[in-house]
């Protein structure tokens, strides 16, 4: 992992992944403590640094301080793109989308959409006339390229709205659409 060479704090890397992959991700200290399996003090120190730098916003819900990425921060998009590159998601999308048929959009779901590292990249592809044989071959190539398993489902546009509506926004991340060949920043 490239980030391990640049950033020595594993807690900081986990927080970057958690908050900067999906701008809808929200979390609080105790939840992060159990998710990361680390001391609340180490996590609190990093959360405070990110908040002081303006990279995270916080709000109070009862007795919990809830954190969320500040997607209007000038570095948000850059950090988001670094995380996409680190996980290999950008390369999977570029490998899979090329000559696929008529894709409209690609969503990331599963652990990565929640901001957690995972050996599996879960995708939902929405489109017409998707060449499923070609898709299967490209997914195998992408898996070898990034060293992760790629799990996917293909939805026709008519069924996509119903299916995607069942998923919480924080568990779903739009990463490509046919109007923007670049990977998009999130559900904004």
- Predicted confidence at residue 4, as pLDDT, reads 67
Number of domains in the chain: 2
The answer to the question of residue 187 being in a domain is: no
- Are 61 and 127 in the same domain? no
- Predicted confidence at residue 179, as pLDDT, reads 58
Q: Does the structure show a pLDDT above 70 at 136?
A: yes
- Are 106 and 141 in the same domain? yes
The answer to the question of residue 6 being in a domain is: yes
By C-alpha distance, which of 14, 34, 182 is closest to 94?
182
- Are 49 and 101 in the same domain? no
52-84 pLDDT, tens digit each: 999 999 999 999 999 999 999 999 999 998 888
- Are 127 and 163 in the same domain? yes
Length, in residues, of the chain: 188
**68 forms bridges with which residues in the sheet?**
26, 57
- The vertex-168 CA angle with 44 and 148, nearest 5°, equals 75
The answer to the question of residue 117 being in a domain is: yes
SS3 56: strand
- Predicted confidence at residue 103, as pLDDT, reads 82
- Are 61 and 101 in the same domain? no
Q: For position 148, which CATH number holds?
A: 3.30.460.10
- Are 60 and 21 in the same domain? yes
**Bridging pattern class, strands 120-128 and 102-109:** antiparallel
SS3 154: strand
- Are 173 and 92 in the same domain? yes
2-54 pLDDT, tens digit each: 666 778 788 998 999 899 988 889 999 999 999 999 999 999 999 999 999 99
- Are 92 and 48 in the same domain? no
Question: Domain ends where: 69, 100, 122?
Answer: 69
- Predicted confidence at residue 9, as pLDDT, reads 81
The answer to the question of residue 136 being in a domain is: yes
CA distances from 138 to 14, 74, 79, 98 (A): 29, 34, 27, 9
The answer to the question of residue 162 being in a domain is: yes
- Are 92 and 57 in the same domain? no
- Predicted confidence at residue 1, as pLDDT, reads 56
- Are 7 and 42 in the same domain? yes
- Are 22 and 61 in the same domain? yes
The answer to the question of residue 33 being in a domain is: yes
HSE, CB side, 13 Å, CA atoms: give it for residue 7. Answer: 17
The pTM of this model reads 0.74
The answer to the question of residue 29 being in a domain is: yes
**Bridging pattern class, strands 120-128 and 149-155:** parallel
138-188 pLDDT, tens digit each: 899 989 988 899 999 999 988 988 888 888 877 888 887 875 544 444 443
Question: Domain ends where: 41, 69, 97?
Answer: 69
Q: Which domain holds residue 64?
A: 2-69
CB 19 within 8 A of CB 12: no
Q: Which two tokens stand for residue 111?
A: 């652990």
The answer to the question of residue 141 being in a domain is: yes
- Are 56 and 120 in the same domain? no
Query: Phi and psi for 144 in degrees, rounded to 5?
Result: -65, -40
79-117 pLDDT, tens digit each: 998 888 888 888 888 877 777 878 888 899 999 888 888
SS3 9: coil
């Amino acid at each position: 992992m490239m980030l391990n060479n640049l950033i020595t704090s594993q807690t900081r890397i986990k927080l970057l992944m958690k908050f900067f992959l999906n701008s809808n991700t929200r979390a609080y200290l105790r939840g992060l403590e159990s998710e990361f399996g680390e001391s609340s003090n180490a996590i609190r120190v990093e959360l405070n640094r990110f908040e002081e730098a303006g990279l995270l916003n916080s709000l109070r819900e009862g007795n919990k301080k809830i954190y969320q990425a500040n997607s209007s921060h000038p570095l948000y998009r850059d950090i988001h793109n670094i995380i996409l590159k680190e996980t290999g998601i950008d390369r999977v999308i570029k490998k899979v989308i090329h000559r696929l048929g008529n894709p409209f959009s690609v969503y990331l779901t599963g652990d990565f959409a929640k901001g957690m590292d995972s050996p599996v990249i879960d995708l939902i592809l929405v489109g017409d006339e998707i060449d499923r044989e070609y898709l299967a071959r490209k997914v195998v190539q992408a898996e070898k390229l990034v060293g992760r398993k790629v799990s996917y489902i293909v939805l026709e546009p008519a069924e996509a709205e119903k299916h995607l509506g069942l998923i919480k926004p924080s568990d779903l991340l739009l990463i490509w659409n046919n109007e923007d060949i670049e990977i998009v920043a999130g559900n904004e």
